[in-house]
Structure 1
Amino acid sequence: MRSVITRIKDNKKTTRILVSLATLSACLLAIVTAYQWVTRLNLNPDYRIGEVIDSLHGVNVYYNGGVNHVEERNTSADGYNIGLKYQCVEFVKRYYYERLGHRMPDSYGHAKDFFDGAVSHGELNSKRGLLQFRNAGTMPPGVGDLVVYRPTVTNPYGHVAIVSRIDFKQGSLEIIQQNAGPFSSTRETYPLIYKPSGTWQVASNRILGWLRKK
């Protein structure tokens, strides 16, 4: 009799655990769904999607509203894929296409895919057709370099930007970016640190490195 009662109690305990797990899963799904929905909206009434909000060397940065908002695909007259309007990838690829006349051999992929961990420091990233340098390596970044950020919990796709200004004397680096968020700036500044070992580090653990045209 006691064993039967014990089994009943164990079954009830298991049921409570399963119900709790199911409830937690439903809550997490609701949070993720709500986040995906909200980040597709334009929550900033001061700007409209597609409005020019900055530029570098004649290449415009457009306002995108929520970070997960997507317009149609931007392509060149002859069909080269520049990217989805107005995501961060679209800006950096448009900058390299319009400013530098560069077409990436692999014109697709998320921002995080622009940095190839298998490519050695200073070697050619063949998918992008650009030299790749690691953060905290021996090559400092330069104006026009394409900066690649690692993914985060809220942004699994990573991020990309362009170096817009460097002050070696003051030890600072500025980037320009598209689709940073409805209330975020198109510019960010980071400390640029030179170490006695001969390495240069942009002081952000999000930055993997930078790409550069030969």
Structure 2
Amino acid sequence: MKKTIITLLLICLSIYLYVNAKNPTNKPPNNKITVKSNQIKCGDSIGSHNGITAYYNDGFNSCGSGRHMSSDGYSYGFKWQCVEYIRRYYKDYYKHEMSRWGNASDYFRNNLAHGAINTERNLIQYKNGHTEKPKEGDILVFQNIAPPYGHVRLVTKVNGSVINVIEQNTGTSCYSTLGLSKNGNNWLISDECTGFLRKEE
């Protein structure tokens, strides 16, 4: 019993001496301060595609507030939501404007035929898992992410079985990849993508 107590005391003493050697002033380590000073702040730039910047929005918690408006009065959407990036990209890069209403899930109209014009966005709409392959500039719509709001991503590149995308409101990185597979003549995008929209050439 005595031997056990002495052993425990020696272990405790060793831990105490180790901690104090690492932190001799007995002040708590400043790890939190370091993390805070390196944190990305709301509205900070986290990347871009074709010169259109994506901004940090603290994931789905949304740290932005109010609408983001263009110089000519067009509503990009609420800062810095996923829809805001899509609307700003299409307006600033393609000079294409869309109806301002709706969440990301509303960008895909479930009753439209594959390849029909989505008149609310004035874009061609394609269903996932059909004959059309996605390409750069397409808007991918995910109705099953964070329902009923949904999520949208912009295709930046398609390379074999990998789709590169840029997006807002998903954390500190705006870049991610999705899988693309082919079954016969049909193309399937991963992550339960509902479908995609494309500007007519």
Name the residue aligned to 1:173: 163
Out of 52, 55, 58, the residue aligned to residue 62 of structure 1 is 55
Residue 4 of structure 1 aligns with which residue?
Answer: none
Pair member with larger Rg:
2
Q: How far does residue 151 in structure 1 lie from its aligned partner after superposition? A: 3.1
Q: Are residues 1:88 and 2:88 paired?
A: no
User: How far did residue 83 of structure 1 move?
Assistant: 0.3
Query: Displacement of 1:157 after TM fit?
Result: 0.5
After superposition, the Cα gap between the structure-2 partners of 1:62 and 1:201, relative to the gap in structure 1 and judged at 3 Å, is: same
What is the deviation of 1:190?
1.7
CA distance in 1, matches of 2:190, 2:81: 24
Cα distance between partner residues in 1 of 2:127 and 2:139: 12
Identical counterparts, % of pairs: 36
Counterpart residue identity of residue 190, structure 1 = L
Misfit runs of 4+, over 6 Å: none
Match of 1:213 in 2: 199
Query: How many Å separate the matches in 2 of 1:203 and 1:161?
Result: 13
Q: Within 5 Å, which residues of 2 pair with 1:126-205?
A: 126-152=119-145, 154-168=146-160, 171-181=161-171, 183=172, 185-196=173-184, 198-205=185-192
1:121 alignment counterpart: 114
Name the CA shift for 1:46/1:115 in 2 (closer, same or farther; >3 Å): same
Measured on the aligned residues, the alpha-carbon RMSD in Å equals 1.7
Q: Once the 2 structures are TM-superposed, how far is the Cα of residue 204 of structure 1 from its aligned partner? A: 2.1
TM-score w.r.t. the length of structure 2 is 0.77
**Secondary structure of the structure 2 residue equivalent to 1:138:** coil
Contact 1:143 1:166 in 2 (8 A): yes
Amino acid at match of 2:175: R
Gaps of 5+ in 2: 1-35
Conserved in 2, the CA contact under 8 Å of 1:124 and 1:131? yes
Give the length in aligned residue pairs.
Answer: 164
Q: Does 1:112 align with 2:100?
A: no
Residue by residue over 1:62-102, the C-alpha shift from the partner in whole angstroms, topping out at 9 and shown as x without a partner, is 01124232322011223211100100000011000011000
For 1:14, the equivalent position in structure 2 comes to: none
Q: Give the conservation status (yes or no) of the 8 Å contact 1:44–1:65.
A: no
- 1:71 pairs, out of 42, 65, 70, with 65
CA–CA separation in structure 1 for the residues paired with 2:72 and 2:37: 35
Amino acid at match of 1:210: F
Q: CA–CA distance in 2 between the matches of 1:189 and 1:99?
A: 22
